[in-house]
Chains A and B, each alone.
Chain A
Amino acid sequence: MTKKVTRFFTIADYLEEENWLREMHSQGWKIVKIKAPCFYTFESCEPEDVIYRLDFRNTEKPEDYLQMVSDFGWEHIGDCLGWMYFRRPADTAASEEEGELFSDNESKAEMVKNIVRTRMMPLVVIFLCSVLPNFFRILNGEYVGPWGAVFSVLFCLLFILYVYLIIHCGIKLKKIKDRYKD
């Protein structure tokens, strides 16, 4: 039996996503497919405590990396929007580090920096170059007529969404990064 679940996680919510997938598995639902931006397909299974980990690699997904991760005992489930999904049964991890993809603070912080650089920055640039100028044009009443109204509402919604995403992700990613500072 399979079930599809729609749930949205921002780029700053990957720790919650890991916990959620683990929780689902312990209830007898293992993830089989992740489709952008927020569609998850689960398959019923024996309830089990399985650790889930996400790794952000926006560039290439090198063969030798997959080989190494599998040597370390991880199963590669799939990729989605630059995220790689891995899992391993909790009882195969003898130490805390074995249950992690990154064992020191430097490499944990490096992944957060990578998310900020390649995901957060484009968001800010689009906001400053497109959403914000259009928002000011709307405030000036530059868009008129029925289409102008539709456009105005659309851009106002977009404006709110962007402000929310930038504040939410910015604060959260900074918090995560600060945790890894020595």
Chain B
Amino acid sequence: MDDKIRRIYVPMTESGFYILYCLQTPQHGYGISQQVRKMTAGAVNISAGTMYGALSKMEKDGLIKFHSEVEKRKLYNITELGEEVLSAETARIDRLYRNSKGEYLG
């Protein structure tokens, strides 16, 4: 992961994190938003424009790639770089969570 990617995506937006997480299995934009809503019991809703923008940007930066097209809908899935970013983010959020519970890691 180069510095540019790190600067943009670590830390990343909440929508971005959920989108990247969901793309561990190939999906299209609307499918992702449905899954995120289910995962978070409706707490996180990603709108159409935000979804489209995030997918375009992540594809351009190589975090996800085009997988296939089904009925005019583009399906994407995560790349190796995307997985690297996702695990860096997961580690950061895990640290944040443990610290928020008063845990000292060092």
Contacts and interface: CB of A to CB of B under 8 A. Distances in A.
Nearest to A65: B52
5 contacts: A68-B28, A71-B29, A96-B45, A97-B47, A103-B15
Contact of A72 (B14, B30, B42): B30
A58 B54 CA distance: 18
B77 interface: no
Given A102-B50, A103-B50, A95 B30 contact: no
Most-contacted residue by chain A among B29, B46, B52 (CB, 10 A): B52
Given A72-B30, A95-B42, A106-B13, A64 B48 contact: no
B85 to A, nearest CB: 16
Contacts of A68: 28-30, 48, 51-52, 73
Contact of A104 (B13, B52, B73, B74): B13
Contacts of A72: 30, 33, 47-48, 51
A98 interface: yes
Interface class of chain B by DSSP: helix
B72 A63 contact: yes
Given A63-B72, A65-B52, 11 more contacts: A68-B29, A69-B48, A69-B52, A71-B28, A72-B33, A95-B42, A97-B46, A98-B45, A101-B50, A102-B53, A111-B49
A77 to B, nearest CB: 15
A105 B99 CA distance: 27
A97 B45 contact: yes
Contacts of A97: 45-47
Contacts of B28: 68, 71
The interface residues of chain A, by DSSP majority, are classed as: helix
A176 to B, nearest CB: 15
Interface residues of B, number: 21
How many residues of A sit at the interface, in one of the four size bands? 20 to 34
Contacts of B73: 64, 67-68, 71
B29 to A, nearest CB: 5
A107 interface: yes
B34 to A, nearest CB: 10
Given A63-B72, A104-B14, A98 B47 contact: yes
A65 B14 CA distance: 22
Contact of B53 (A94, A96, A107): A107
B49 A101 contact: yes
